[in-house]
Chains A and B, each alone.
Chain A
């Protein structure tokens, strides 16, 4: 009885007590860990700090997109790892999206065989752990490729071998101008599309914006080739003998098998999830919507573009972004096959050399965390913007 009275009259106090207890518990755990860490680091003669990032790393990385060798700093090694993570994620996202859309649409095909094949693709690749798929491609499938001297040749331009895939190297002159022209093309496309939307909504005029956009995308960069001195030549890989038995390719770019295996496994695995999202999105648009659109005289393309896709995309995009995020996080499995991503380079080699577990693991986790949280903030904003505004 007394307790009940206490409850009602002191609602504020009642709310305060559990919160205070939680905060205190959390603080004491943090303090306990921090003091232990301090003592442990003191015993080992290391002090907390990020100064080591400027020290010479003195280890090599097998694959780097920026200039790097052992004489560069740990900070530079971190950057190399980060770029490699971004590279494999971007490749994975690109192919996973294409495959996911194709498989997702195939699952809804009229054709029984195609629908079944797509369904089994999803069932098979979704239910095998990703790490096993990576191991399979890397240790089993790609190891069955031939040695460089009899590599599989694609019209003598690129060669697929056990040591990697050798592709021609792009040699640009005035690449900056080309890049600027591409950016300019995209800006132009943005304005063309917003102008077309405005014309359609205000005056009911149809402007073939898609065709104009494509033309702009091709034409504007083309102009730079013709008039502004941009040129592109290729350097083809050529077989070179190192010793009587060892061959390799000189020139060109070598895509290492680790990257191929990882990108392949990541995109095939994530494609199954994207396919399910695409299927759900298309199924989620009611039949009545299409019929209503047809009855007000829109043609088939307009129905798809103006009625079905906007609604389907509203369903598809949020879970698909989640899958992109998962793919990026899953790319950390690279460590298992020694693809030099951020986990292997930084949380692996650099940690082993410096012994700075707390700093390095924190930086690694923080990197992923920043990525995830910024994407989820963006998604929340996007969802709010796209949500149906009910009146």
Chain B
């Protein structure tokens, strides 16, 4: 009757070794198959052969599923990946898929890939042609900015990083000046340095800007301007004055209701119609205005969330101290409200960075746009995969770092409260 007893504490000494060896055997089979193209169980009929690792692994997992076995590591293993038959199957599938997908990925990225050379002909392997990225790297970073002048972009970003880095370590009193410099002085200094035209610097028109540095420039300026506009809109939306309230609502909902791409189209083809004949506003500035207004509307909604979350008592206390509207908001309400919505603000900024590649629709080329240009170059056809994988990695690192930072900030602030 009890030919195969249910795995339990009594038969742990026979079942666990058998089970573990079955599981290892099944994983080993898939591993050998994926990495060395070996089929360890070729002597079985082919149809059985295909499912054998799954069956073996499944039986193995069944045999080692012993509740309260008294062996700590076995209990942890069972609890996490082997709590019932369905879970065991899922575990096996996941492990097999991961093992199966490693070799082709490894081949494409590294083993079969080409790293040396300067032209497409140097790419002889089946894998990725990283030569493409190497040759075009300068363009991907700086766009069509003249090579001889690229030190200016580097200097501007270097100053930015140094000032931001130093400002983390100085005293509170000095920090104020650093922030003042970053917000009010540096943007104009930096843009002057990059665009040139005075101080003996050669003028570089904005159409030549591009690559990853343009992504940063646009993101930085849009962040800088969309934040105060967003705060003002949020206050406007909560205002007791009907005209201001409804204008703010209309403005916010207008931008939030349309896709960014149509806003960019508007800035490119419709906006010039609204200006006096002959006036010309640089394309980059028009795009910046469009992105800023668009993101400001989202920012306004985030800030409004913070304003609504504040208890009424804060407003009443401020008023009872005799504060006026602006003093109340600047000193009491906004500092608390903004602190509440730091994660939301970070998410909006993240969305802004992710939206910058869209500027290609008006002909400005940041990283994704430059890749589009490079892959259509007759000498480098067929390099789309390498290009977009590279761009994806770059953006992923930036955005992932930002989202991790905002999560940490959220955790830090939530413990304080």
Residues on A facing B (Cβ under 8 Å): 15, 18-20, 22-23, 26, 33, 36-37, 39-41, 43, 109-114, 117, 123-124, 126-133, 135-136, 139-141, 143-144, 329-330, 332-333, 335-336, 343, 347, 351, 357-358, 361, 364-365, 368-369, 371-373, 376
Contacts and interface: CB of A to CB of B under 8 A. Distances in A.
A368 B94 contact: no
B81 A335 contact: no
Contact of B79 (A40, A110, A365): A110
Contact of B275 (A20, A36, A126): A36
B270 interface: yes
A127 B270 contact: no
A22 B247 contact: yes
Given A36-B274, A36-B276, A37-B274, A111 B269 contact: no
B81 A140 contact: no
Interface in B304-359: 354-358
A335 B263 CA distance: 13
Interface stretch (B7-15, B34-42, B83-91, B112-120): B83-91
Contacts of B396: 124, 127-128
29 contacts: A18-B241, A19-B243, A26-B247, A36-B277, A39-B277, A43-B277, A111-B87, A111-B91, A112-B80, A113-B81, A129-B354, A129-B357, A129-B368, A132-B392, A136-B389, A140-B389, A333-B261, A335-B261, A335-B361, A343-B265, A347-B265, A351-B269, A358-B270, A358-B273, A361-B270, A364-B262, A365-B258, A368-B258, A369-B257
Contact of A136 (B91, B261, B275, B392): B392
A20 B391 CA distance: 50
7 closest pairs, A vs B, by CB? A372-B257, A19-B243, A127-B399, A140-B385, A139-B384, A112-B80, A329-B259
Contact of A40 (B83, B277, B392): B277
Interface string B226-261: 000000000000001111100100000110111101
Given A127-B399, A127-B403, A129-B355, A330 B259 contact: yes
Given A110-B79, A111-B90, A343-B262, A333 B358 contact: yes
Residue of A39, A129, A333 contacting most chain B CB atoms (<10 Å): A129
Given A136-B388, A361-B270, A369-B257, 6 more contacts: A22-B244, A112-B80, A114-B87, A127-B400, A336-B360, A373-B257
B266 interface: yes
A43 B275 CA distance: 13
B262 A368 contact: yes
B261 to A, nearest CB: 5
Contacts of A368: 257-259, 262
Contact of B90 (A23, A113, A343): A113
A128 to B, nearest CB: 5
A24 B292 CA distance: 24
A135 B273 contact: no
A283 B121 CA distance: 55
A302 B113 CA distance: 56
Contacts of B256: 372
Contact of A329 (B81, B258, B276, B357): B258
Q: What does DSSP make chain A's interface, helix, strand, loop or mixed? A: helix
A130 B253 CA distance: 23
A303 B80 CA distance: 25
Interface string B71-97: 000000001110100010011001100
B372 interface: yes
A41 B274 CA distance: 10
Contacts of A39: 276-277
A347 B246 CA distance: 29
Contacts of A110: 79-80, 83, 87
Contacts of B265: 343, 347, 361, 364
Contact of B368 (A36, A132, A330, A373): A132
B392 A128 contact: yes
A361 B266 CA distance: 6
B388 A113 contact: no
B261 A343 contact: yes
A131 B360 CA distance: 10
Contacts of B358: 131, 333
Residue of B275, B368, B388 contacting most chain A CB atoms (<10 Å): B388
Contacts of A123: 400
B100 interface: no
A41 B354 CA distance: 36
B395 interface: yes
B375 interface: yes
A336 B361 contact: yes
A40 B269 CA distance: 13
B264 to A, nearest CB: 10
Interface string B378-409: 00000011001101100110011001000000
Contact of B80 (A37, A111, A364): A111
B395 A129 contact: yes
B9 to A, nearest CB: 22
Residue of B262, B355, B361 contacting most chain A CB atoms (<10 Å): B262
A132 B388 contact: yes
Nearest to A38: B273
Nearest to B91: A113
A258 B32 CA distance: 38
A111 B83 contact: yes
Contacts of A22: 243-244, 247
Nearest to B86: A111
Contact of A135 (B275, B372, B403): B372
A37 B273 contact: yes
Given A112-B80, A358-B273, A130 B354 contact: yes
Residue of A40, A333, A361 contacting most chain B CB atoms (<10 Å): A361
A21 to B, nearest CB: 10
Nearest to B92: A113
A19 to B, nearest CB: 4
A136 B83 CA distance: 38
Interface string B116-151: 000000000000000000000000000000000000
A296 to B, nearest CB: 27
A336 B385 CA distance: 17
A152 B302 CA distance: 48
Nearest to B82: A111
A84 to B, nearest CB: 15
Contact of B261 (A18, A109, A140, A332): A332
Interface in B268-284: 269-270, 273-277
B362 to A, nearest CB: 11
B146 to A, nearest CB: 27
B266 A365 contact: yes
A383 B257 CA distance: 19
Given A23-B243, A347-B262, A361-B270, A139 B375 contact: yes
